[in-house]
Amino acid sequence: MYVEYMKKQLQEAFSPSQLEVIDESYKHVGHKGAGKGGHYKVRIVAEAFANKSRIEKHRMIYKVFDDDMPDKIHALAIDASN
């Protein structure tokens, strides 16, 4: 399952104290682009995000999945904190 892959990648990149990855693709069935890549929500707490702006945190996470967008990930909602 792709959620497990995402969790593994985030664990390796950030060693988070809390991590949740939710597949929300079912909410987007029939939407334009829904057939190519999934819709996911990430909630992550990691010290790597200390003193980082919201944009910096998002860029850090997007970098982990650079090779997966847009083929495997169409949309990614992020809630990142330290």
Q: What percentage of the chain carries pLDDT values higher than 70?
A: 90
**Domains by residue range for the chain, with CATH:** 2-81 (3.30.300.90)
pLDDT digits 0-9 by tens, 27-49: 766 666 556 778 899 999 999 99
CA neighbor of 67 nearest in space, from 37, 24, 30: 37
Confidence class of residue 8 from pLDDT cuts 50, 70 and 90? very high
Averaged confidence pLDDT in the chain: 90
Higher-confidence residue of 70 and 42: namely 42
Inter-residue contact 44 to 62 (CB < 8 Å): no
Interatomic CA distance for residues 15 and 4, integer angstroms: 15
